[in-house]
Chain A
Amino acid sequence: MSSIAKKKGFGASLWDYLTTVDHKKIAILYLAAGGLFFVIGGIEAMLIRIQLAKPDNDFVSAGLFNEIITMHGTTMIFLAAMPLLFAFMNAVMPLQIGARDVAFPFLNALGFWLFLFGGLFLNLSWFMGGAPDAGWTSYASLSLASEGHGVDFYALGLQVSGAGTYIAGINFLVTIINMRAPGMTYMRMPLFTWTTFVASALILFAFPPLTVGLFFLIFDRMFGGNFFDHTMGGNTIIWEHLFWIFGHPEVYILILPAFGIFSEIFSLFSRKRLFGYSSMVFATVLIGFLGFMVWAHHMFTVGLGPTANAIFSVATMAIAVPTGMKIFNWLLTIWGGSIKVTVPMLYALGFIPSFVAGGVTGIMQAAAPLDYQLHDSYFIVAHFHYVIVGGVVLAILAAVHLYWPLMFNQMLSEKLGKWTFWFFFIGFHCTFFIQHFLGLMGMPRRVFTFGADQGWDTFNLISSLGAILMAIGVIILVVNVIITIVKNEKVGNDPWGDGRTLEWAIPQPIPFYNFKQTPLVRGLDTFWIEKQEGNKEGMTYAEPLSDIHMPNGSIIPLVMSFGLFVASFGALYNGEKDWAIPVLVLGLAITFASMAIRSIKDDHGFHVHKEDILKNEGGNK
C-alpha cells in the first residue's frame, strides 16, 4: 500500500507486516486473522449441523459436541465478528475523518497482536487436552465443575484478546475525538465513523466487567479462589451478572458498526443523502446508553423477582424505538433514490427484513412471562442468529465487497458476489427460520442429539441443508477473493462511481500518509460536495503542502503480546506442573521488559519531506 511502490521480497514484506503501525496494514491483518477464525467457526457450525441432521446421530460424542458449540460461539463473537469489524474500522474510519493514522499507531498494532495471540491460545485447546465445554457464556457453577483445562483456555485466551479489544476501542475513541480534519464537526461525521465512536465507547465501559469476571474465574479455577463457590461464601450469580453486563453491550458493539456500514451503503447506492442523519446519530447514541440498562433480560429465569424482571423488560422493549427509527430512515433513504443494486446493496436490502425478523423475536423474549417458555430453547438460537447473522455477518460480507477496492485497489467480481449473496441469504433463512418452530415445539438448545420419536427430524434436516447452502456461499466468496487477487486489476479511486465520503476521494493506491495535505471538510458527504462543484482533485485542502510527521514501525507490540501468551501457559498449568510458575514469570518478564524498552527508548518517528511527497504523488487516479 505504500506510495513508494518498490517490489519487495517475501521476507521483507513479512517483516513489514509484523512491525507495521500503519492503520491500513493493520486493517489487512485484522481482515486476514478474522477471516481465518470465521472459517474455523464456520467449520464448527457445520459439524454441529451434521450432528443434528438426523435423530440419534453419533457423528460426534456428547462431550465433543459441547466443546464444538462452545468454541463456535466464542470464536464467532470474539475472534471473527469483532476483528472483522475492527478491520473495516481501521481501514475506513481514519480516512473518513481526514486523519493520517489513528491516534496511537503503536497501540493499534498492540491491540491486533494481543487479539491474535489470545485467539491462538484459545484454539490451541483443541490440541492440548480438549476445548472449553461450558458454553460461550461459561456460567460459573458449570464452568467450575468442568474437568480438564478447557475452561482455563477460555478464561486466559479471552483475557488476552479482550485486552487487545479494549486497547483498540480506546484508540478509536481518541482518534475520533482528536484527529478530525478541520471542518469535520461531530455532526458532519459519516455514520460509519459515528457508529465506530459509539461502539468504542461501549467497549470502554463493557469490557472491564468481563475482565473482572474472567479474573474471578481464573482465580477460582487456577489459584484456589472462591468467588463463585457458594459453599465458601461466594455467589455463582455474580458471574452471570458480570458476563451479561459485558455481554449485552457486546451485541451492540457488533451491531452498531454493522448499522454504520449499511447506512453508508444505502446512501451510496441510492445516490441520496442519508435520510434523517441527525436522528440516526441520536438513535445510535441512545442505543448505546440503553444497551447498558438491559443485561438482566438474559437472566429472567434466574429468579431476580418480578420487580427486577419488569424493569428490565420495559427497558428492553424501549430499545426497539431507536432501532425502529433507524429502519425507517434507511427505507426513506432508498425511497425515491436512484438505486443501483450492486452486491453491497443486495446485502443491505437483504439485511432489513432479516434484521427486523430478529428484532421482533427479541421483543417477544423481552416479555418476561413469555421468556419463561422460550428460554434455552431453539427459539433463542434462531433469534440471536437472526440478529447476528442477519445483521452483523451480512454487514461484514457487504463491507468486504464495498471496501475491497479501498483496501486493495481491486474489485471483487460482482457476478460471483451475487452468487455468494443468494446462496448465503437463502441458506441463512433456511437454517434459522425453521429453528423458531423447533424451539416452539420444545427442542432445547445445546442438546447433542434428539430422539426419532420427538417429531423434530424433518425440521432439523432442513436446517442442516440450509447450513450447506451458507457454506457454499462462503466458498464462492473465497474463490472470488483468490481470483481477484490473482487477476490484480487496478481500479483506482471511487470505483463505485458515487462515493460520498472522504475515503473515496483519496488517490489509489493510498499513500501511507493518507493525505498529502489535510483536507478541509465543508459539509456532510464531503467528497460528494466537491464532485458537485466540479473539483477534479476531490478535496479542498486546509493547509499548504509541508513535511509530514509519521511514526516508525516496531516489533515491540508483537513481543509484548507474545509474553502474555507464554505467561498464559504458566497460569494454565499452575499447581500441576513444576515449570508452571517459572513460565508464568518468564512470560510476564518478556511483556514488562518490552514495555520498559518502549518507555525508555525514545522513538520520535520520521518526517516525509515535501519534495518526496511531490515526487510520489499520483497513483493511478
Chain B
Amino acid sequence: MSHDAHVYSKSQTEYEYTRRVRREAMRGQVTTFAIMIFLTLIAFSAVAAGFSEYFIVPILLLLAAIQVVLQLYYFMHMSEKNHGMAAFFLYSGAILGFTLFLTFLTIVWWN
C-alpha cells in the first residue's frame, strides 16, 4: 500500500452524512443498553420471586443468549458491514462447541 501523505478534507455533505450515521449508531447503542438493563432486571426479579427452578433456569439461559447476541451485534459492531468472516468463524466455533458439549453430555456423562 502506498504510504505517501494525503491531505483530505471532507465536504459539507459528507460531514453531515457522518454525523447522521453516528447519531443513529449512538441511538442504537443507548436503546440496546436500555433493553439489556431491562433483561437483567427480569432475570434478577425472576430469581428473587422464587419460581420453580425448572422455570427459572431455561428463562435465564434464554435471556443470557439474547444478551450475548445484543452485545456482539451492537457493542462489538457485528451489525456493521464487512464483518462476514468474523461472523462465519464465530458461528462455526459456536456450532462446534455446542456439538462437543452435546456429545460429552450424551456419551460421557450420562453413561
Interface residues of chain A, those whose CB is within 8 Å of chain B, are 177, 201, 204-205, 209, 235, 237-238, 241, 245, 289, 292-293, 296, 304-305, 308, 518, 543-544, 546-549, 607
Contacts and interface: CB of A to CB of B under 8 A. Distances in A.
Contacts of B107: 296, 304-305, 308
B61 to A, nearest CB: 23
A204 B99 contact: no
B10 interface: no
Given A237-B108, A296-B103, A305-B111, A547 B3 contact: yes
A304 B85 CA distance: 36
Given A308-B106, A547-B4, A292 B99 contact: yes
A544 B2 contact: yes
A548 B2 CA distance: 7
A293 B1 contact: no
Given A201-B89, A292-B96, A293-B99, A241 B2 contact: no
Contacts of A209: 100
B2 to A, nearest CB: 4
A296 B100 CA distance: 11
A543 B3 contact: no
Nearest to A549: B3
A177 B85 contact: yes
A220 B33 CA distance: 44
B1 A205 contact: no
B31 interface: no
A289 B93 CA distance: 11
A304 B106 CA distance: 10
Contacts of A292: 96, 99
Interface of B: 1-4, 85, 89, 92-93, 96, 99-100, 103-104, 106-108, 111
8 shortest A-B CB distances, which residue pairs?
A546-B2, A308-B107, A304-B107, A547-B3, A543-B2, A546-B4, A177-B85, A292-B96
Contact of A607 (B3, B96, B99, B103): B3
A209 B100 CA distance: 10
Contacts of B2: 543-544, 546-547
B5 to A, nearest CB: 10
A549 B2 CA distance: 9
A546 B3 contact: yes
Given A546-B4, A607-B3, 13 more contacts: A177-B85, A201-B92, A209-B100, A237-B108, A238-B108, A241-B103, A241-B104, A292-B99, A293-B99, A304-B107, A308-B103, A308-B106, A544-B2
Contacts of B106: 308
A235 B108 contact: yes
Q: Is the interface of B mostly helix, strand, loop or mixed?
A: helix
16 contacts: A204-B89, A205-B92, A241-B104, A241-B108, A289-B92, A292-B96, A296-B107, A304-B107, A304-B111, A305-B107, A305-B111, A518-B1, A543-B1, A547-B4, A549-B3, A607-B3
Nearest to B97: A205
Contacts of B104: 241
A381 to B, nearest CB: 27
Contacts of B100: 209, 245
B78 to A, nearest CB: 15
A184 to B, nearest CB: 14
Contacts of B108: 235, 237-238, 241
B51 to A, nearest CB: 32
B96 A205 contact: yes
Contacts of A238: 108
A547 B93 CA distance: 40
B93 A205 contact: yes
A209 B89 CA distance: 17
Contacts of A549: 3
Nearest to A100: B1
Contacts of A201: 89, 92
Which of B4, B96, B107 has the most chain A CB atoms closer than 10 A to its own CB? B107
Contacts of B85: 177
A193 to B, nearest CB: 15
Contacts of B111: 304-305
A241 B104 CA distance: 9
Nearest to B109: A235
Contacts of B4: 546-547
A282 B111 CA distance: 37
Contacts of A241: 103-104, 108
Contacts of B103: 241, 296, 308
A205 B85 CA distance: 15
Contacts of B3: 546-549, 607
A601 to B, nearest CB: 22
A17 to B, nearest CB: 28
Nearest to A308: B107
A209 B2 CA distance: 42
A208 B4 CA distance: 42
A391 B8 CA distance: 54
Contacts of A296: 103, 107
Contacts of A289: 92
A33 B62 CA distance: 50
Nearest to A304: B107
